[in-house]
Amino acid sequence: MKGRKNIELILFIFLLISLSFSLTSQAEEVGQDSQFLNKIILCRDIKENEPVYQTNTFRSWDDKVVAWISFNYQSQEPFLLTWEWIDPDGKIYHIGEIEMDSGNYRNYRSWYWINVWDHYAAKLPGEWKVRLYIEELLLAEKNFIIE
């Protein structure tokens, strides 16, 4: 009887460990960015097409929050890059769009920003997010804070 309980306990522990690894794998798969996205960076500014002052925490006196991306994409037709800025209440604060010509884009860099200092965003402290799309395909979602 005691031996059977030990075996059941060992099997139960093994099952928990297996389940834990399975859930971890699934979470990593869901969390991966789109196959088209090379990198997404939040920063305070852009210099020579590159992000500078990288951060996920911004202050109400910062000029802006910039979402910079590097991506690969091939399209026979013009397409739309969209940045959807979500405020701490979960409401869409701003939608920015850039119309792109058809073509084969490799390591292409683009960015869009919202102004903070002296704008309504400065009055909305908390956790924000930005979602980036090519057409209607979600490339990435990144959280940031405005304090």
pLDDT at 133: 96
Same domain for 139 and 120: yes
Same domain for 118 and 67: yes
Provide the whole-model pTM. Answer: 0.75
pLDDT at 63: 98
What's the CATH number where 44 sits? 2.60.40.1930
Is residue 140 within 8 Å of residue 33, measured between CB atoms? Answer: yes
Same domain for 142 and 110: yes
Same domain for 81 and 21: no
| Of 17-31, 66-80, 105-119, 125-139, the least confident | 17-31
Same domain for 112 and 55: yes
Is residue 96 within 8 Å of residue 110, measured between CB atoms? Answer: no
Could you tell me the residue range of the domain that residue 50 belongs to?
34-146
Same domain for 73 and 28: no
Closest CA to 110 of 76, 68, 78, 146: 68
Query: DSSP character for 94?
Result: E
Q: How many domains does the chain fold into?
A: 2
Same domain for 67 and 25: no
pLDDT, tens digit (0-9, with 9 covering 90-100), for 66-113: 999 999 999 999 999 999 999 999 999 999 999 999 999 998 999 999
Neighbouring CB atoms inside 10 A of 124's CB total: 16
Same domain for 20 and 46: no
Same domain for 132 and 82: yes
Is residue 58 within 8 Å of residue 65, measured between CB atoms? Answer: yes
Q: Provide the token pair at 67.
A: 């979402």
Residue 32 pLDDT > 70: no
**122: three-class secondary structure by DSSP:** helix
3-state secondary structure 3-57: HHHHHHHHHHHHHHHHHHHHHHHHHHHHHCCCCCEEEEEEEEEEECCEEEEECCE
Same domain for 38 and 28: no
Closest CA to 68 of 79, 90, 53, 86: 53
Same domain for 71 and 55: yes
- Reported as a pLDDT band with limits 50, 70 and 90, residue 16 is very low
pLDDT, tens digit (0-9, with 9 covering 90-100), for 47-64: 999 999 999 999 999 999
- Reported as a pLDDT band with limits 50, 70 and 90, residue 35 is confident
